[in-house]
Structure 1
Amino acid sequence: MKLAIFQPVTIILLAFLLLVVSVPTVAQRSTDWPRESPPPPLPAKEATFPHYEIRNLDNGLQVVLVKHHEQPAVNLRLMIGAGSASDPEGKSGVAALTGQLLAQGTTDLGATEIAEKVDAVGGVLDVGAGTELSFVNVLVMTDSFEFGIDFVGDIARNPSFTQAEIDRQRQQVLSGLRVSYDDPGYLAGVVFGRLVYGEHPYGMPPNGTPESVQQITRDDLQAFHNAYYAPNNALLAVVGDIDVDEAFLEVERVFGDWAQKAMPAVREMEMLQPAHRVVVVDKPGSLQTAIRVGHVALPRVSPDYQAFDVAIKILGGEGGNRLGSVLRTERSLTYSASADFVSRRFGGDFMGKTETRSAATAEVLRLMVDEVARLRGERVSPRELENAQAYLAGSFPLAIETPNAIAAQVLESLLYGLDLDDLPRYPNRINQLTVNDIQQVTQMHLQPESLSIVLVGEASAFLSDLQAAGFKDVEVMSIEDLDLESVDF
């Protein structure tokens, strides 16, 4: 009788097959794993807003002084009440370029000297402009406070605007715009701004366009600075490891001789009413479509601001995000989806946004519009509201954790004329909102039938699908023909 002789390789294969048969698969075993909901959030940490004082110089400069001794540092934030919304007509980008150039030279210091002086004291310098403000921020250690206050005064009051630095910064802006114009997300955002705000200054690209930036002259920059950089159009926050009285004396020393100016008339233009438009910017070769959906919304001082902000958080923000749940978790149509609410002095906007593969564009857009309609038409669940409240109230201590963050909170309130007493009460005001409050503001301020919609991608890949998804009147424009400063955009 012959015995079967197995080669070593054969033995190994048999052993492997037995192992595969005898061990359940991962999918099989996973069905036996316990399933539990995530643990509830920890109780919100009690937040104590630091004591602050507001004093005024004779020239109109408002000074906010906040003692915060947890770190041996002082944050100085000078805020000017003019930004891109105050750009001269036809020259968007003036405020932004003016802000950039503040750190590129004063009448006494060159750009290199400014950088070296900041580095020598271990400080941080930040300059720039937003929509309604321009700023100079300096963070220094406590023993460099006198240097810091002198530094802020010099940079804000005495910019040199040398032609060489203007040309250098202009080229940096143009280079950045070239990169941005190749980004579907950037294009979708600026086109959305034009649709929502029309000719209102809020809708103009804050950094300008290649055409407008090329036209900005040294005279434009000096004129903007001379018109708006004045003590009666400024706020200064001094926050950190300071003695309030000594700090105020230093502010008087540096800014007391800053002369008041008559401010230019504010261009108060009416906000557009929400109007339904679907605009496709054709970007051939794009593998994804950037989608933006929304319309004009409330000014910052609106009594409905807080409740509407929470509603948009439920739609697509922290502590909620229905858009993310539907588009990513349930349908795997995108990596991320969100919604933002921006509110300014005269108005604001809410915007849902995502990016998806071209073939899924119509489906994703339909789902986003339906979620906006659902937020208006159906009450949010108590659990959704509680989650949003827990996040917002629970994260408030982080918003006042550093001198820089404290200064930002106080200055924003002063800029928009808000009640400063409401700052420490923020968690309580959030937690007092009810499901009825959310329903009331969504029914009053959301208009799903009047959404402005922007799609940037390869139009041929999804245009026919849009019709089938219920989007009939679609405007298509080539990326080469895109004129962001056109009056009749």
Structure 2
Amino acid sequence: MKTAFNMNTKIVAFFALFIMTISANAQIDRSQPPVAGPEPEISIDKPEEFTLKNGLKVLVVENHVLPRVSYSLRIDNSPIATGKKAGVESLIGSMLGNGTTTISKDAFNEEIDFLGASLNIGISGGFGSSLTKYSDRILELMADAVINPLLTEEEFDKEKTKLIEGLKSDAKSADAIAGRVGSALAYGTKHPYGEFVTEETINNVTFGDAVAFYEKNFNPNNAYLVVIGDVEFKDVKKKIKKYFKDWTKSVDVNTTVPKPSPNVQYTQINFVNVPDATQSNISLTNNVNLKMNDPDYHAALITNNILGGGGEGYLFKNLREEHGYTYGAYSRLGTDRYGASRFNATAKVRNAVTDSAVVEAIKEINRIKTEPVDPQLLKDAKAKYVGNFVMALERPQTIASYALNIKLNNLPEDFYTTYLQKINDVTVEDIQRVANKYFKTDNLRIIVVGNGADVLGNLEKTGIPIMYFDEYANATEKPKFEVKLPEGVNAKSVMLKYIDAIGGKDKVEALSSILLKYEASAMGSTIISEEKRMDGKLLQTIFMNGNAMMTVLTTQEVVTMNKNPLPENMVADMKPLGGLFTELNLLNSDNAKITSIEQVEGKDAYKVQVSGEVVSLAYFYDVETGLKVKEVQTTSMQGQTQSQEVVLKDYKDFEGVKFPATREGSQMGQLIVYKLLEAKLNAGVTDADFK
């Protein structure tokens, strides 16, 4: 009976609502837009706070909705430059959170996994999270890791090797170069925000340097611990005092953050040549002094959003939707409490449209400075910020971060309760005023990282002065793209010499199939790389601990990855890879050109470039021996560029044909060395393998 009553009640309620809806609709005047509802009232509860005797400041936000607790530690030291030992902070940071003086690294990590928790410590703080019933133990482990880290020279040497390998992996990355050069030119290489890490600076750092950096800078003097979740204030206060009371207060580190380099006197292109780049990384930037407590702050947020905050921004609509130059174009107007930040408009574009993209980006920046913004666009931008702000308030972490922001940025107590009002008070005139104040189109650095041979000619036609820099922001001369080659040397002759060096054209062309297997060890796993080759076909499979992880099939018709077809433009670019030897496919290709003579492993090598729309190939052949000593495959898709570089060594003879016995390459910052296990000629491969 109870179920029937509930059902009848619901039916009656439904029909009542239906009739009310019809009645209401009949009275609505569709010619008039609906009146906006009242702005939501913003009420933000203040976290409860206390401070330990050692200076650690604690903020607690109770939230009992879920049985979870998180602890966020922030070491709020002023930025410092580490000069000739740049990277010391990364080295010591990577060692923290890996065991303590009382708990081994393995036991420490195993316990965290067993509890289903997370705990990470770095040089600027840490984060721990767990279910409520384990929160006491996670807090204890965090305190132990902070106060008594396990710092050993053996671990230091491992982290040093990993960091250096990561730098080598990024050496030819246009994204990494653009980030490094952009910061160095904007702030200066002696500024904390402008200095960068190199293999030389890492090698300058000793284990003693790393420990001394920790002891000087990782202390509770300027530390904040934010606790969020299913806790009782009195209880968590008692536990924090218990676990963190032995964290020793140190001498205050008083540093003055230097002023960044001044903006350039006139707009200029700062060009960095990356010969392998298949697209250009563009950044239009100038320094700004904008802080969260500035009167312009809220108007600056909306102004940047309209210019380049997303799919509705001026930059995106022009460079992507109107012209199709890029997958995305965005801008950022940064804030910094030390007065050192940047306006930055960025895009990654095809080589052929690099100059046009620069011109159009400048046009859009000038547009927001000179033309009043459309009132509806302004209204939409405000609505976006209001929606995001209100949604963020649903997360307890937001309350804590807002409270910390107020403290660190010297904000008024009502900064967030009046936030929406200040957003909605932004006017069309404010947008134009702020754009003119912070977007310096007469003092822009237009940083372009790309293939000079492809893009410089058209960039010069823009009439914007061009200055040249290397990948470490050192001023340099304009690159020369004409390669002086010995008489008779060209891409075809170099590849023919390679074929002769590995056994001769007759021997190579007599082959019907090739099977190669290479083995490597990495991340505790055994990796097998297998290649099967026939005329016009290539099957590459990567096995990890005996399981096939990735399979790439390349023929003259299709390219598939794990049996999924890749885009047609990739197929066109990767066709040369399908076959017994790539060089046989490229001998008569107009697309294969010698672009430079570079050193590989200390010896001169001809670089043969094969440019594609999505995938570009670069092969390096030893000038003296003719053997191929390096391969680089660069893929550019959806605004992202990735390069895979392999060094080939120790050629060995198999039935009269030579293959490299060693292949070395970096993956995720780790050097992986493959050794040749097996080479079969005219055996072990059939047409069925390529189905």
Among 131, 143, 149, which residue is 1:141 paired with? 131
Give 1:76 deviation, angstroms.
0.3
Question: Aligned with 1:182: secondary structure?
Answer: coil
> For the residues of structure 1 that align with 2:99 and 2:150, how far apart are their CA atoms?
6
The CA distance in 1 between the partners of 2:212 and 2:328, in whole Å, is 43
Which residue of structure 2 lines up, in the alignment, with residue 182 of structure 1? 172
Tell me whether 1:258 sits opposite 2:247 in the alignment.
yes
Q: Distance in 2 between matches of 1:461 and 1:387?
A: 40
Give the counterpart of 1:52 among 47, 50, 57. 47
Q: Distance in 1 between matches of 2:37 and 2:178?
A: 39
Structure 2 matches for 1:441-480, cutoff 5 A?
A: 441-472=434-465, 474-478=466-470
Q: Could you say which residue in structure 1 is the equivalent of 2:71? A: 76
Separation in 2 of the partners of 1:176 and 1:46? 49
Does the CA contact (< 8 Å) of 2:333 and 2:342 recur in 1?
Answer: yes
In structure 2, the partner of 1:211 is 200
Structure-2 separation of matches of 1:95 and 1:428: 41
Instruction: From 249, 269, 281, give the equivalent of 1:278.
Output: 269
Unaligned runs of 5+ residues in structure 1 are 1-40
Contact 2:343 2:438 in 1 (8 A): no
1:113 aligns with 2:107: yes
- Report the more deviating stretch, 159-168 or 289-298: 159-168
**1:81, 1:228 within 8 Å by CA — same for their partners in 2?**
no
The equivalent residue for 1:267 is 256
Does 2:322 correspond to 1:322? Answer: no
Distance 1:77 1:48 in 2: 23
Greater RCO structure (CA 8 Å; 6+ sep): 1
- In the TM superposition, what whole-angstrom CA distance separates every residue of 1:377-405 from its partner, at most 9, and x where no partner exists? 22222222222211121012343443444
User: Distance in 1 between the 2:111 and 2:334 partners?
Assistant: 36
Q: CA deviation at 1:139?
A: 0.8
- Provide Cα deviations, 1:284-336, integer angstroms capped at 9, x if missing partner: 12110011111111343433222212211211114742110000001111111
Q: Does the alignment pair 1:154 with 2:148?
A: no
SS of 1:185's equivalent in the other structure is helix
Q: Which has the larger radius of gyration?
A: 2
Deviation per CA, 1:196-241, whole angstroms, max 9, x where unpaired? 1113211123xx2222223222222222211122222111101111
Pick the aligned partner of 1:168 from 131, 142, 158. 158
Provide the C-alpha distance between the structure 1 equivalents of 2:311 and 2:298, rounded to a whole number of angstroms: 15
For residue 20 of structure 2, what is the aligned residue in structure 1? none
State the Cα deviation string for residues 410-438 of structure 1 (Å, max 9, x = none). Answer: 33333333335323443333222222222
Matching residue of 1:122: 116
Contact 1:59 1:231 in 2 (8 A): yes
The one of 62, 65, 86 equivalent to 1:92 is 86
Question: Counterpart of 2:84 in 1: which secondary structure?
Answer: coil
Decide whether aligned partners of structure 1 residues 316 and 52 sit closer, same or farther in structure 2, where only a CA change above 3 A counts: same
Q: Secondary structure at the match of 2:125?
A: strand
Alignment of 1:304-319 (within 5 A): 304-318=296-310
SS at match of 1:203: coil
Match of 2:361? 368
| Unaligned ranges ≥5, structure 2 | 1-35, 476-691
The amino acid that maps onto 2:303 is A
- Supply the AA of the counterpart residue of 2:282: I
Distance 1:469 1:348, change over 3 A: same
2 CA distance for matches of 1:395 and 1:46? 15
Change (3 A) 1:325 1:365: same
Higher helix fraction: Structure 1 or Structure 2? 1
1-side partners of 2:352 and 2:298: how far apart?
Answer: 37
Percent of aligned pairs with the same amino acid? 29
In 2, distance between residues paired with 1:209 and 1:409?
36
Go from structure 1 to structure 2 and tell me whether the alpha carbon gap of 1:188 and 1:67 turns closer, same or farther (over 3 Å shift). same
CA distance 1:120–1:236, change in 2 (3 Å): same
CA distances 1:122-171 after superposition (whole Å, capped 9, x unpaired): 11123335xxxx12100111112211221221122222221121122222
Q: Does 1:221 align with 2:180?
A: no
CA distance in 2, matches of 1:68, 1:51: 13
CA RMSD of aligned residues (A): 2.5
Counterpart secondary structure, 1:385: helix
SS at match of 2:164: helix
Q: Deviations over 1:60-112 (max 9, x none)?
A: 221111112222111101100137x3242222222222222112232122322
2:432 pairs with one of 430, 435, 439: 439
* Structure with more of its chain in strand, by fraction: 2
Q: Contact between 1:101 and 1:169, CA under 8 Å: does it hold in 2? A: yes
Q: For the structure 1 residues 209 and 436, does the alpha-carbon distance in structure 2 shift closer, same or farther, using more than 3 Å as the test?
A: same
Give 3-state SS (helix, strand or coil) of 2:259's partner.
Answer: coil
Q: Which amino acid aligns with 2:247?
A: W
Alignment of 1:237-256 (within 5 A): 237-256=226-245
